[in-house]
Amino acid sequence: MRAEDRTLFPLVVVADCWLQRLLIWTPGQTDLIKTVALLLMVADHISLVSGLDCAGLRLAGRGAFPLFGLVWAMNLARYPCIRQRSLNRLWGWAVVAQGGWILAGLRPDMGNILFAFAVTGQAVKLIQTHGPSVWPLSLALVLGWLPFSDGSYGLAGVMMLLLAYGVFMSARRTTRTGLAGCLALTVLALNVADGTAFAVAGLIIPGLTLTVLSRTCRLVPRFWPREFFPLFYAVHLAVLGLVAM
C-alpha cells in the first residue's frame, strides 16, 4: 500500500461511518423524513401556484427533492434489482399527477417530478435486466425526458437520483464515499441557476433533517401507507390549483 493510500484510507473509513449513520433509517424514521419533505414541497408549491413568490417558502422547498430522492433510492436498493411492477405503478401515478399539475396552472409541456423518478428508475432497470449493452437505450430514454424536465430539475435531477441509488447500492467504502461526494455536488447544482442561497439551502436543509432524524425517533413506528406520496402529490397539486382559481 502506498503512503498516500495509508493516509487516505482512515479518512475514508471515518467518512463512510458518518455516512452510514446518516443514511440508515428505521421505517418510522423514513416516514418522518418523507413528512418533512412533504411539508417543504407544499410550502414551495403554495408560493409557486398562489403567485406569492415568497423567497422563504421557495428556499425551504429546495430541500424537498433531495430528501425524496434519497428515500426513493433507499427503497429501490432494498432489492438486488429494481422491480418492474414498482416502476409500472410509478409511471401510472406520474400520468395521474400530470392532471393535477395542469390543474395547478403549471405548463402542460413540462413533466411533473414523478416522471423524473420513473425515467431514472427505468433507465437503470434496462441495464440491470439486459446488461451494459443496452446503455444507448437507457441514454435515449433520459435524453427523451430532458425537453420536458425544466420543471423537474432537468439533467441534474436525473444525475442526483442515479448517484443516490449508487450510494445505497455500493458495498465498497471508497466507492460509496466517492459517490456521496458527487451526490453533494449534484444537489448543489440542482438550484445553482436560482442563486447561491438556493443552491446552499438545497444541501443544508436535507443535511440538517437527516442529521437530526437519523439520530432520534428510532422507536417511532411506520405511519404512512404505501403509495401515499404519489397520491398526496397528485391531490395536493389539484387542490392548490382549485384554491388559486
Residue 37 has pLDDT above 70, yes or no: yes
Report the pLDDT value the prediction gives residue 122, as an integer from 0 to 100: 97
Report the pLDDT value the prediction gives residue 5, as an integer from 0 to 100: 44
In a domain, 129, yes or no: yes
In a domain, 170, yes or no: yes
| pLDDT tens readout for residues 94-123 | 999 999 999 888 889 999 999 999 999 999
Residue 181 DSSP label: H
Helix (H, G, I), strand (E, B) or coil at 105: coil
Query: What's the grid cell of residue 142?
Result: 433520459
Q: Would you say 244 and 51 are in contact if contact means Cβ atoms under 8 Å apart?
A: yes
Question: What is the biggest distance separating any 2 CA atoms in the chain, rounded to whole angstroms?
Answer: 66
Q: Give every CB contact of residue 34 below 8 A, 6+ residues apart in sequence.
A: 67, 68, 71, 224, 228, 229
Residue 240 has pLDDT above 90, yes or no: no
> Domain tally for the chain?
1
Report the pLDDT value the prediction gives residue 2, as an integer from 0 to 100: 44
Q: Would you say 77 and 169 are in contact if contact means Cβ atoms under 8 Å apart?
A: yes
Report the pLDDT value the prediction gives residue 74, as an integer from 0 to 100: 95
Query: What's the grid cell of residue 174?
Result: 471508497
| pLDDT tens readout for residues 178-223 | 999 999 999 999 999 999 999 999 999 999 999 999 989 899 999 9
In a domain, 66, yes or no: yes
Residue 11 has pLDDT above 60, yes or no: yes
Report the pLDDT value the prediction gives residue 71, as an integer from 0 to 100: 96
Radius of gyration over every alpha carbon of the chain, rounded to an integer in angstroms: 18
| pLDDT tens readout for residues 51-66 | 777 889 999 999 999 9
Q: Give every CB contact of residue 124 below 8 A, 6+ residues apart in sequence.
A: 82, 138, 162, 165
Residue 143 has a CB neighbour count (10 Å cut-off) of 11
In a domain, 1, yes or no: no
Report the pLDDT value the prediction gives residue 4, as an integer from 0 to 100: 39
Query: What's the grid cell of residue 70?
Result: 434519497
In a domain, 232, yes or no: yes
| pLDDT tens readout for residues 74-96 | 999 989 899 999 999 999 999 99
Report the pLDDT value the prediction gives residue 53, as an integer from 0 to 100: 76
Range of the domain at 235: 6-244
In a domain, 93, yes or no: yes
Q: Would you say 12 and 204 are in contact if contact means Cβ atoms under 8 Å apart?
A: no
Q: Give every CB contact of residue 217 below 8 A, 6+ residues apart in sequence.
A: 28, 29, 32
